[in-house]
Every structure is written in structure tokens, then in C-alpha cells.
């Protein structure tokens, strides 16, 4: 069913009795051409683009829980392409472009809101590092502006300009960056894929691989064995666990990242803002909640929840730049499991096992990647060659030393 104000009005007249499921809740078949493991943003987008761009529809997405239950349903919704390394800029900018046309493309309003992302800087050194980044973006044709203190003050007068420990000196602004309604991305892709024939199978946990002669042949799941010629892994925080079923060790650790939402408020914070001298970033959802987060808890975890010190650290960061939020209340906090790589950049590649493909290592930045990750992963699976925008995200880059370390932290995942 095509969505529009007219379909809405028509259904309203009919007491909303006419709506049909947004996606089919499919029973798994015994065999498919392609299986995608993981019904998160990336898995669903991959299925969508396999169907839409490559005409491959004998595809199933296997999700161990309900779709969107992973990180796509628990991120802070920020999308941007303000990276420093050309390989990353190229990929995330491709994603930005896809975001910009997404809603018309899949006929679902995911509320892509290009309200601007502002990264504050607090020292000359940081300013120059941001200049380096902004210039790299501009060289790649991506919008970037370096604001000074007065420009930031005019834009966001409520920030702490008066008694800050690390005074705000300015910021790097990407106006095209912003937020997207996270759940709707999963639902929209699921709907688009399902409409084109893809089976979305929920409550179906992959528990092992069937490998025959060095080639994948299918998976063991909580709902039985399913055969397939090609299998794509897109399980984010669970990448190591699933890869281990195929005997692979990855350059990944799973860490917990918390996020928080405040009670609903009238519009207060117009953009996405990040603190440069502490761990804090914030935006306001269209519903009115301030959505914010900060650093990883720092330890490995599969528990989807964190601890109090980081809650306090994040709020401290928030008060440091915007002391007006002191009396606003934190309503809920939650955690997600991040597939943190050794250089902080992702992996979209074939694995040593034929027919098995890997999309992983998104750290805390993979939501913004969703369209491009789906696009590029679908391309890789369908054509067995990388899509150019993702050609640097290879597994062997660590062995070669061609690492993509934006922060210069080295092989320590919790510092990226």
C-alpha cells in the first residue's frame, strides 16, 4: 500500500480498518539464494537494495528477536559525513546522499532532518584539527564550515560562554548533517524489502553455519536449518559471536554505549551539538526529548546496559556546555552493544569462507551509514566485488597497515 496524505485520509474515513502489515512477518522457507543475518538497519537495507538495485528477491533477513531491536533502535539518530580520512568521507557522503532521497525512494517518512551538526572546539590545537577535517571534507565536495566563537554564540546563545573550564572557541559545522527517526529507518527498509518479495523472519536466531567444502551452504537457526548460496552477516555488536560460529576471529571488541533521553520539552536545541572537551553530544527529537550520550562505558559487554559513572560523566559534560539543562530531567537511559574495531572504521568485505560476507565494525557510527552500508553490502554480495565507496573497508587492511584511524588511538577499540 502506497503511503500518502490521501491514503491516510481514506483510511481515517474507514476507521483505520484498512491498514495492512507494514512488512510481512514471514515463516522461513527451507532455502534461499541469499540470507542476511541481522534485522537491524544494515541487514534490512541490504535486503532492500538487493531486491531493488539487483533484482534479487529470493532473500530472507533472519532476526533473532524483533526487527530493529538492536542498535538501529537505540542510537542517538545522528547522521553526518564530517569525517577526516578520505576513505571515510567518501563512504559517509555516499550515505548522506542516499539519506537525502531516502523517503521518496522507499515511500516512508523517516524524518530525515538536516538540522546541522556542530562540533565545538576549545583550543587552538583542536581548531586546527577541525580545520584539517573540514578542509578534507571540502576537498571531497562535502559541506563544512569552521565557525569562530562569535558565530557559535550567535547560533547557540545558550551555550556556556562565560565560566567554562574549557571555553568554547568555535565549532565545525556541517549543515547537511542532522538526525533521522531511527526506528522508521528499520521499518521503512523492511517494508520496502518485504514489498519486493524479501522474507523478514523474526525470532529466528542463527546458531551455526553449514559449511561444505569451504563454502557456506546455510545456517542452523532456532527455527531449523535454512539453506542458502550466499550469506551476509550484519549483526553489529554480535559480529564476533556470529563470526566465531564460522571459525573466524575479528579485529573487534564489543563494548557498551549508553544513551539517554530527557522528558519531552518544547523546542530548545535546534541542532546536533557535540562537546569538544568532554564526552557529550545532544539533539532534540521531534517528539521533544533531548537525546544525548557520551563515552563508551569502557569495558566489553554484551549486556545492553551500562553503569552509573558514565551516566554521571555524560551529564557532567552536558552541564559544562549548557548549564540550562540542569533542572531538566533524564527520563530513560539504555545501552547498545558496539562492534568496536581496532581502528574505529568499519568492515564490508568477503570472508575467507566462500559465500560468506561480513558487514561489521560500525562502532558508534553505523546508523548514519545505514543506507550506504546496505547499498555497498548488497553490491558486494550480488556482484562479488566491492562498491567503490566502500572499497577501503577491507578485513586485510590491518595486516597491511592500511588502517583508517580517525582519532589516532591505535589498536585499542575503547578509545575510538
Partner 1 sequence: MRIPCPFCGLRDSSEFVTIGEASMSRPPADAPEAQIFDYVYLRDNPAGVNQELWYHAQGCRSWLKVARDTRTHEIESAVLARGGAQ
Partner 2 sequence: MTNSQRLSSGGLIDRGKPLSFRFDGKTYRGFAGDTLASALLANGVKLVGRSFKYHRPRGIFTTGAEEPNALITLRSGARREPNTKATTVELYGGLEATSQNCWPSLDFDLQAVNQLFAPLFVGGFYYKTFMWPAAFWEKVYEPLIRRAAGLGAASGLPDPDRYEHATAYCDVLIIGAGPAGLSAALAAGRAGARVILCEEDFRLGGRLLADHYQIDGETGTQWAEQAEAELTALPEVRIFRRTSVFGVYDGGVYGALERVADHLPQPPVHQPRQRVWQIVARRAITAMGALERPIVFGGNDRPGVMLASALRAYVNRFAVAPGRVALFTTTDDGWKTAEDLIRAEIPIEIVIDPRANVAEWLMKPIARAGTRILLDAVVTDTKGGRSLQAIEVLKSGSKLTFDVDTLAVSGGFNPQIGLSTHLGGRPRWSDEIGAFVPGELPSGMAVAGAAAGQYKLAECLAKGAACGAVAATDLGFSASAQPAPRVADEAIEVKPLWHVAQSRHKAFVDLQNDVTSKDVEIAHREGFRAVEHLKRYTTLGMATDQGKTSNINGHALMADLVGRAVAEVGTTRTRPPHVPIAIGALAGPHVGAHFKPTRYPAGHEWALANGASMVDAGQWHRPRWFTKPGEKDWLESVTREAKTVRAAVGVCDVSTLGKIDIQGRDAGIFLDRVYVNMFSSLAVGKARYGLMLREDGFVLDDGTTARLASDHYVMSTTTGNAAKVMQHLEFCHQVHWPELDVAMVSVTEQWTQYAVAGPKARVLLQNLLGDALDLSNEAFPYMACVEFTWANVPMRLFRLSFSGELAYEIAVPADYGEALLRELMRAGASLGVAPYGTEALGVLRIEKGHVSVGELNGQTTAADLGLGRMLSTKKDFIGRVLARRPALTDPERPTLAGFKPVDSAQRLRSGAHFVPLGITPSVENGEGYMTSVAFSPHVGSWIGLGLIKRGPARIGERVRAYDPVRGGDVEVEICSPVFVDPEGARLHV
Ligand X SMILES: Cc1cc2nc3c(=O)[nH]c(=O)nc-3n(C[C@H](O)[C@H](O)[C@H](O)COP(=O)(O)O)c2cc1C
> Which residues are near ligand FAD by CB under 6 A?
37-43, 62-65, 69-72, 74-78, 205-206, 234-238, 242, 257, 259, 293, 336, 338, 362, 364-368
Q: Which residue has the cell 558565530?
A: 151
Name the residue nearer to ligand X (CB basis): 90 or 181.
181
Among 26, 111, 211, 217, binds partner 2 (CB under 8 A): 111
Q: Which residue has the cell 549543515?
A: 175
Among 53, 263, 354, 385, binds partner 2 (CB under 8 A): 263
By CB under 8 A, tell whether 298 contacts partner 2: no
Q: Which residues contact 126 (CB under 8 A, 6 or more apart)?
A: 169, 276
Rounded Cα gap, residues 377 and 231, in angstroms = 11
Partner in contact with 253, chosen from ligand FAD, partner 1, ligand X, none, beta carbon below 5 to 8 Å by kind: partner 1
Given CA atoms 361, 367, 371, 374 in this order, what sign does their dihedral have? Answer: positive
Q: Given strand 289-300, what is the order of strands in its sheet?
A: 145-148, 170-174, 117-121, 272-274, 281-284, 289-300
Partner in contact with 411, chosen from ligand FAD, ligand X, partner 1, none, beta carbon below 5 to 8 Å by kind: partner 1
Partner in contact with 154, chosen from partner 1, partner 2, ligand FAD, none, beta carbon below 5 to 8 Å by kind: none
Name the residue nearer to partner 2 (CB basis): 42 or 397.
397
Structural contact between residues 276 and 120, judged by C-beta atoms closer than 8 angstroms = yes
Partner in contact with 206, chosen from partner 2, partner 1, ligand FAD, none, beta carbon below 5 to 8 Å by kind: ligand FAD
**Residues facing 159 on adjacent strands:** none
Q: Which string of x and - marks every residue 375-394 that binds partner 2 (by CB under 8 A)? A: --------------------
Name the residue nearer to ligand FAD (CB basis): 344 or 355.
344
CA nearest to 94, candidates 381, 360, 387: 387
Rounded Cα gap, residues 108 and 333, in angstroms = 28
Structural contact between residues 116 and 96, judged by C-beta atoms closer than 8 angstroms = no
Rounded Cα gap, residues 277 and 113, in angstroms = 26
Q: Closest approach of Cβ 201 to partner 2, in Å? A: 13
Among 239, 285, 301, 370, binds ligand X (CB under 6 A): 285
Q: Which residues contact 319 (CB under 8 A, 6 or more apart)?
A: 325, 326
Rounded Cα gap, residues 261 and 287, in angstroms = 11
3 state SS of 99: helix
Applying CB under 8 A, which part among 36-44, 53-61, 301-309, 356-364 lies near partner 2?
Answer: 301-309
Q: Among residue numbers 238 through 267, which ones bind ligand X (CB under 6 A)?
A: 261
Q: Which string of x and - marks every residue 358-397 that binds ligand X (by CB under 6 A)? A: ----------------------------------------
Burial of 249: CB neighbours in 10 Å, binned 0-12, 13-18, 19+: exposed
Q: Among residue numbers 47 through 106, which ones bind ligand X (CB under 6 A)?
A: 73-75, 77
Task: Give the footprint of partner 1 on this chain (CB under 8 A).
Answer: 240-241, 244, 249-254, 298-303, 307, 309, 342, 398-399, 411-414
Q: Closest approach of Cβ 4 to ligand FAD, in Å? A: 27
Q: Which residue has the cell 534485522?
A: 39
Q: Which residue has the cell 559513572?
A: 309
Among 110, 201, 204, 248, binds partner 2 (CB under 8 A): 110
By CB under 8 A, tell whether 46 contacts partner 2: no
Q: Closest approach of Cβ 287 to ligand FAD, in Å? A: 16
By CB under 8 A, tell whether 302 contacts partner 2: no
Structural contact between residues 321 and 159, judged by C-beta atoms closer than 8 angstroms = yes
Rounded Cα gap, residues 315 and 280, in angstroms = 8
Binding residues (CB under 6 A) for ligand X: these are 73-75, 77, 182, 261, 285, 287, 289, 291, 304, 331-332, 334
Amino acid at each position: 500500500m502506497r503511503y500518502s496524505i490521501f491514503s491516510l485520509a481514506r483510511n481515517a474515513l474507514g476507521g483505520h480498518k484498512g491498514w495492512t502489515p507494514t512488512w510481512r512477518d514471514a515463516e522461513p522457507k527451507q532455502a534461499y539464494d541469499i540470507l542476511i543475518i541481522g534485522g537491524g538497519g544494515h541487514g534490512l537495507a541490504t535486503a532492500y537494495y538487493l531486491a531493488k538495485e539487483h533484482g534479487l528477491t529470493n532473500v530472507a533477513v533472519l532476526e533473532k528477536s524483533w526487527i530493529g531491536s538492536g542498535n538501529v533502535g537505540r542510537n542517538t539518530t545522528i547522521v553526518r559525513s564530517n569525517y577526516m580520512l578520505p576513505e571515510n568521507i567518501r563512504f559517509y557522503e555516499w550515505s548522506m546522499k542516499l539519506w537525502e532521497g531516502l523517503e521518496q525512494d522507499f515511500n516512508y517518512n523517516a524524518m530525515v532532518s538536516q538540522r546541522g551538526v556542530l562540533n565545538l572546539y576549545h583550543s587552538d590545537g583542536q581548531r586546527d584539527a577541525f580545520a584539517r577535517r573540514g578542509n578534507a571534507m571540502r576537498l571531497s565536495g562535502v559541506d563544512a564550515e569552521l565557525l569562530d566563537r562569535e558565530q557559535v554564540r550567535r547560533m547557540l546563545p545558550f551555550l556556556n560562554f562565560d565560566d567554562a573550564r574549557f571555553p568554547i572557541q568555535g565549532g565545525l559545522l556541517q549543515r547537511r548533517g542532522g538526525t533521522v527517526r531511527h526506528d522508521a529507518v528499520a521499518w521503512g527498509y523492511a517494508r520496502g524489502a518485504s514489498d519486493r518479495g524479501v522474507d523478514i523472519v523474526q525470532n529466528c536466531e542463527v546458531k551455526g553455519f553449514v559449511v561444505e567444502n569451504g563454502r557456506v551452504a546455510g545456517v542452523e537457526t532456532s527455527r531449523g536449518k535454512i539453506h542458502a548460496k550466499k550469506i551476509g552477516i550484519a549483526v553489529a555488536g554480535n559480529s564476533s559471536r556470529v563470526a566465531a560460529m564460522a571459525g573466524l576471529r575479528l579485529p573487534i571488541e564489543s563494548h557498551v554505549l549508553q544513551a539517554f533521553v530527557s522528558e519531552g520539552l518544547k523546542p530548545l536545541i535546534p541542532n546536533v551539538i557535540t562537546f569538544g572537551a568532554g564526552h557529550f553530544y545532544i539533539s532534540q527529537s521531534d517528539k521533544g526529548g533531548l537525546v544525548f550520550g557520551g563515552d563508551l562505558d569502557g569495558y566489553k559487554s554484551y549486556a545492553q546496559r551500562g553503569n552509573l559513572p558514565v551516566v554521571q560523566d555524560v551529564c557532567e559534560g552536558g552541564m559544562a556546555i549548557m548549564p540550562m539543562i540542569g533542572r531538566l530531567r533524564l527520563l530513560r537511559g539504555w545501552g547498545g552493544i558496539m562492534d568496536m574495531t581496532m581502528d574505529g572504521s568499519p568492515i564490508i568485505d568477503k570472508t575467507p569462507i566462500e559465500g560468506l560476507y561480513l558487514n561489521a565494525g560500525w562502532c558508534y557510527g553505523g546508523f548514519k551509514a545505514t543506507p550506504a552500508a546496505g547499498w555497498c553490502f548488497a553490491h558486494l554480495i550480488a556482484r562479488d566485488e566491492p562498491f567503490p565507496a566502500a572499497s577501503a573497508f577491507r578485513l586485510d587492511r590491518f595486516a597491511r597497515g592500511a588502517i583508517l584511524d580517525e582519532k589516532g588511538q591505535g589498536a585499542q577499540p575503547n578509545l575510538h
